[in-house]
Amino acid sequence: MRVHAHIAAKIHAAGGWIGFEQYMELALYAPGLGYYSAGAQKFGDGGDFTTAPEISRLFGACLASQCAAVLAESNGGSILEIGAGSGRLAGDLLTSLEAAAALPRRYRILEVSADLRARQRAYLHGRLPHLAGILEWLDAPPEERFDGLIVANEVLDAIPVSRFRWQGGRIEELGVSLHGGRFGWSARPAGAVMSAHCEALRAAGDEAWPVGYESEYCPRLAPWSESVTRALRSGAVLWFDYGLPRAHYYIPERAAGTLLCHHRHRVIDDPFAHPGLQDITAWVDFTALAEAGAAAGFEVAGYTNQAYFLAGTGIDLHMRALAGADERAAARLANEARRLMMPGEMGERFKVMAWTRGLERPLSGFVLHDLRHTL
């Protein structure tokens, strides 16, 4: 496998060991080879995993309600979607916004994968040919300032993380080396920056970590999120992902961390099982995301779970409007809504955080149940 050889060469060149953050970067994003850079189908029934927009149009319809309110307040404006996957969410959002006479001036997609960019273009130009003029793909964050929204569903969980282990009195960095031709975990003493960061996480918790406690954190979260949102002059950034506030994340019970891989709808906890062929994700520390938003000059205007966000943005109304008089469609949509809102599953494990700048009105997705006090 070319991606295996590519990563193995990097490990050799680095003297036999690389940090997990570098491994995750290469396995997911090595140009032409990584999971997100190469050509296989990833989303939906024929892929590796299913996201909320792949489950139901209701997700895009609800998000469109929120977007329409922000676009109205910012007197028009544009939408930037980060990491658009198959393009489904963009298609559903634009369809709902058009029906509400609330189309954005531009709909731009910042997408790291050239293969997915081509798939999104083909899908959206096929589905909404009359809107081709407002669509644009970017391979770097926009530089010119704009008003409106930035949305990202399940992107933060794919930003490479560093992995550590608490060894009672010291922190080790867990990296990757070759064990008889296979990749495997390999520990070394953590450097000063990682040690200080992990000690702060440990000190912030209520309960002591057991010896051997392993977890991860995302050193790029703040710089990356700042860089992709810098151009937003006024409006909202909406981050959807699975994750927890820090106080619930780094608890002794979660002693193996939160890394998860997806391959053909199976969840695998070994990030070395299928390099380049499986997704690798880690939960988002939403306290860290709130800190990043504040440091980037935004107001953290809301934090809730997916079920409350969808309820607050009118999922009941959207279900009725999309089904019309068709009873079978109504039953199908009700089933999809259950999947999106299920307690203990997507409805609760997925969170939504809003960063805003210059907005006066509260965002409807957060009015039913705002969980900011848990951050």
Which residues contribute to the site for ligand SAM (CB under 6 A)?
Answer: 36, 43, 51, 53-54, 82-85, 89, 110-113, 116, 153-155, 158
> CB of 152: closest distance to ligand SAM in angstroms?
7
**Nearest-angstrom CA–CA distance, 42 and 265:** 10
> CB of 196: closest distance to ligand SAM in angstroms?
26
Which lies closer to ligand SAM via its Cβ, residue 153 or residue 162? 153
> CB of 233: closest distance to ligand SAM in angstroms?
21
Which lies closer to ligand SAM via its Cβ, residue 165 or residue 351? 351
> CB of 8: closest distance to ligand SAM in angstroms?
23
Which lies closer to ligand SAM via its Cβ, residue 119 or residue 165? 119
Phi then psi dihedrals of residue 332, to 5 deg: -65, -45
Which lies closer to ligand SAM via its Cβ, residue 159 or residue 375? 159
**Nearest-angstrom CA–CA distance, 12 and 337:** 49
Q: Which ranges in 56-159 belong to alpha helices (H)?
A: 57-73, 88-99, 114-127
Contacts of 187 (CB under 8 A, 6+ apart): 165, 172, 173, 174, 175
Which lies closer to ligand SAM via its Cβ, residue 50 or residue 195? 50
Which lies closer to ligand SAM via its Cβ, residue 204 or residue 267? 267
**Nearest-angstrom CA–CA distance, 219 and 3:** 24
H/E stretch holding 116: helix 114-127
* 301, two tokens: 């205007």
> CB of 51: closest distance to ligand SAM in angstroms?
3
Give residue for tokens 């151009």.
231
Phi then psi dihedrals of residue 127, to 5 deg: -80, -40
Q: Which residue is at the shortest CB distance from ligand SAM?
A: 83
> CB of 37: closest distance to ligand SAM in angstroms?
8
20 CB burial (10 A radius; 0-12, 13-18, 19+)? buried
